[in-house]
Amino acid sequence: MKIYVDADACPVKESIISIAQDAGISVILVKSFSHFSNDNEEPGVETVYVDTGAEAADYRIMKLAKKGDIIVTQDYGLASLGLAKGCIVLHHKGFTYTNENIDQLLQTRYVSAMARKAGKKTKGPKALTAEDKENFHTLFIQTIEQL
């Protein structure tokens, strides 16, 4: 099992790395070249850089991930693909994507996109809170323990 992180905008990377290292699980951070860093990687962590295209990180994660791997993303489209592949998919705000909730999430995204296309303003995602981070931390530990 490996953990794949849609890492460009992931605010819980440090938590993921720390918990995964304690569990002895490899972490693959997938980032665009626009987020390139020369920093040394921590043990058990690999960074894969992709082009800056809109879905480049998503495509690479789907190419690499196998059934039973964990994917951390806020992207509903990637979450849907990961579920179809048999992956466990988590959102950094502390919830698990499931076959039961993904359709509603995709529908909400579509309706918002259509509203924006029609010139209406829509609200963006709420800011990440300390409670969200704690919820993710707890969920991530529970997910790893269950595996």
Q: What is the pLDDT of residue 110?
A: 75
Residue 87 has pLDDT above 90, yes or no: yes
For 14, the 3-state DSSP assignment is: helix
β-strand 70-72 against 2-6: which pairing, if any?
parallel
Task: Give tens-digit pLDDT for 24-61.
Answer: 999 999 999 877 777 778 889 999 999 988 789 999 99
Confidence of residue 147 (pLDDT cuts 50, 70, 90): confident
pLDDT of residue 123: 78
pLDDT for residue 124 is more than 80: no
All structural domains of the chain, each given as residue ranges with its CATH number in brackets, are 2-146 (3.40.50)
Confidence of residue 134 (pLDDT cuts 50, 70, 90): very high
Tell me what the pLDDT averaged over the chain comes to. 91
CB of 133 closer than 8 Å to CB of 126? no
Q: Which tokens go with 115?
A: 């509203």
Query: What's the number of CA atoms in the CB half-sphere (13 Å) around residue 1?
Result: 18
pLDDT at 89 over 80: yes
pLDDT at res. 104: 86
